[in-house]
Amino acid sequence: MRKVVHNVPLFLALGLTLALPCATLTSCQASGPNKSIIVGSKMDTEGGLLGQMIRLVLIHHGYQVVDRIQLGGTALVRKAILEGQIDIYPEYTGNGAYFFHQANQPVWKNAHQAWQRVHDLDLAQNHLVWLPPAPADNTWAIAITDQLAQTAHLKTLSDLADYINKGGSIKLAGSDEFVNSPAALPSFEAAYGFHLSPQQVLTLSGGNTATTEKACAQGTNGVNAAMAYGTDGQLAAFHLVVLADDKNVQPVYQPAPLVRQAVLLAHPDLAGDLEPVFALLDEKTLQTLNAKIVVEGQDSSTVARQWLSEKGFLP
């Protein structure tokens, strides 16, 4: 008897945890699942910008939209769309190489083929549709200071390789991943025929392009080159220039809306509504818009709305 009474709290805990969901189930059987479109995006600046664009365009065309923008990192957002927790989000074509473990195939270095490949694979395996991408490439790149570019006449990575091989002084800041992943710095080194000694590389473990570019702009530890993404907004503010990848070493990362097939079938006009918007988002445009968020501190939805009305997509 005593034993049972003393276990009362335990039973209470179990009972309540079991009872709560049951109560919620019975009390609202009537209302059906939500019919609105859930827009998600990754947590970074460009993710927020493109997510807002999708959201604003869809609202303008009369869709019911739920805002799940800047949800989390790539892995989590990908999981969310596979689980049906979001319906649409902007993703980069080049990431298909990692989603489908085909990182060493050359197809990812060609813009159209990369889009086609990831489109076909995702449609067949996951019932996800890749809508037409934006003509911008947000791939890994190497940026150098304006000053170095002018004094040493560097425009492309081939120029940089010459400069390094002739003994020019260089120190590159990059994240752990950029320095060590075979797809990044090692692939640049192999293709252009240069080699950076450990003294010429500053590894910022866990660093993003914002930190590496800042290190480069401020000349921290003598850094004068940095890992960068093609569409980073802060490049101009930091007085950095991106060196052209003239041998097309890197996979192409074009942003495109990725949507669940079921949602697209229910709203077939959706693709046509978004296509003209993404068609106008080239590298320069994305750099400028990203800069408004990062450098000027404007809100991503304000920047997106302003650009969309400038281009006539919104009144």
Q: Which residues of the chain form contacts with another protein (CB under 8 A)?
A: 1-3, 5-10, 12-13, 16-17, 21, 24-25, 28-29, 31-34, 40, 43-45, 68, 70-73, 75-76, 79-80, 83-86, 208, 210-211, 213-214, 217-218, 234, 237-238, 293-297, 299
Q: Which is nearer to another protein, 31 or 221 (CB)?
A: 31
> Residue 64 Cβ, how far from another protein at the closest point, in Å?
14
> Which H/E stretch holds residue 157?
helix 157-165
| Bridge-based pairing state of the strands 225-229 and 172-175 | parallel
Long-range contacts of 144-153 (CB under 8 A, 24+ apart): 144/216, 144/224, 144/225, 144/226, 144/240, 144/241, 144/243, 145/216, 145/217, 145/219, 145/224, 145/225, 145/239, 145/240, 145/241, 146/239, 146/240, 146/241, 147/239, 148/224, 148/225, 149/241, 149/243
Q: Report the Cα–Cα distance between both ends of the chain, in Å, rounded.
A: 74
Q: Which is nearer to another protein, 75 or 265 (CB)?
A: 75
> Residue 163 Cβ, how far from another protein at the closest point, in Å?
26
> Residue 148 Cβ, how far from another protein at the closest point, in Å?
17
> Residue 141 Cβ, how far from another protein at the closest point, in Å?
17
> Residue 55 Cβ, how far from another protein at the closest point, in Å?
14
Q: Which is nearer to another protein, 16 or 124 (CB)?
A: 16
Q: Which is nearer to another protein, 6 or 166 (CB)?
A: 6
CA distance 13 to 19: 10
Q: Which is nearer to another protein, 27 or 197 (CB)?
A: 27
